[in-house]
Chain A
Amino acid sequence: GAGVSQSPSNKVTEKGKDVELRCDPISGHTALYWYRQRLGQGLEFLIYFQGNSAPDKSGLPSDRFSAERTGESVSTLTIQRTQQEDSAVYLCASSPSGTRGSEQFFGPGTRLTVL
């Protein structure tokens, strides 16, 4: 079946503008994660959604960042008033139910450049 997809693949924006990044998880995966990966750095956890439970937002770096997920489907990560330090690749991953829930399947990422 189809893997995790993300759109857009690349986004260039001006400082101060809002951006919206989209993630389509693998069908049936109940957990969804967002990460940020700066150039040459590891994965920085942002937020994760687990079924119908309240999301874990502990990794969001500021109140300019927010994310939503509709049921067990699409998720949107929104960055308001973008800053140059927001430039990074934003990765989405989904995870199946059951004991292998922490096995994550990643999308190709959205490369965000803030000018």
Chain B
Amino acid sequence: QKEVEQDPGPLSVPEGAIVSLNCTYSNSAFQYFMWYRQYSRKGPELLMYTYSSGNKEDGRFTAQVDKSSKYISLFIRDSQPSDSATYLCAMSESGGYQKVTFGTGTKLQVIP
């Protein structure tokens, strides 16, 4: 079993839809949770960074962490074609210099 599981998709939605991306994990020591967006042929870029359980909102993006269920989500409201990319969840045990474990990524396509 992988430490972090993520549905690879692809996920195809119409423009304006609400998108839900999810990851599950097995390591209960994970405390820092991140979402990265990766456009084709580019390096990943950090989208959201959260600590422990709870919600964090940034514009059209909301990150949720449920440590009791070992489940994290990223919601994208009013999705745009420019949101079409691969979204990778990532997590680590501490916020310091630590190995970060990535999910395999979910490919999202937003259709105009």
A-side residues, CB < 8 A to B, are: 4, 30-31, 33, 35, 40-43, 45, 48, 50-51, 53, 56, 58-59, 91, 93, 95, 98-109, 111
Chain B residues with Cβ under 8 A from A104's Cβ? 46, 90, 100
Number of residues from B at the complex interface, CB < 8 A: 27
Is B112 in contact with chain A by the CB < 8 A criterion?
no
> Does A102 contact B43, Cβ atoms closer than 8 Å?
no
Minimal beta-carbon separation of B91 from chain A (angstroms): 9
| Closest Cβ–Cβ distance, residue B108 to chain A (whole Å) | 15
Q: Are A30 and B102 in contact (CB under 8 A)?
A: no
Quick one: which of A48, A50, A59, A106 contacts B45, CB cutoff 8 A? A106
Interface presence of B32 (CB below 8 A): yes
Is residue B101 within 8 Å, beta carbon to beta carbon, of the partner chain? yes
Q: What residue of chain A has the Cβ atom nearest to residue B8's Cβ? A: A40
Contacting A at CB under 8 A, from B66-82, are none
Instruction: Name the contact of A56 in the complex, choosing from B34, B45, B99 (C-beta under 8 A).
Output: B99
Q: Are B46 and A102 in contact (CB under 8 A)?
A: no
Known: A41-B104, A43-B102. A101 touches B96 (CB 8 A): yes
A33 vs B94: C-alpha distance when bound (angstroms): 16
Is the CB–CB distance between A45 and B99 below 8 Å?
Answer: yes
Contact of A43 among B88, B94, B97 (CB under 8 A): B88
- Nearest chain A CB to B20 CB, angstrom units: 19
Instruction: List 20 A-B pairs, Cβ < 8 Å.
Output: A33-B100, A40-B8, A42-B6, A42-B102, A42-B104, A45-B99, A45-B101, A53-B97, A56-B99, A98-B95, A100-B95, A101-B97, A101-B98, A102-B95, A102-B97, A102-B98, A102-B100, A103-B46, A108-B43, A109-B43
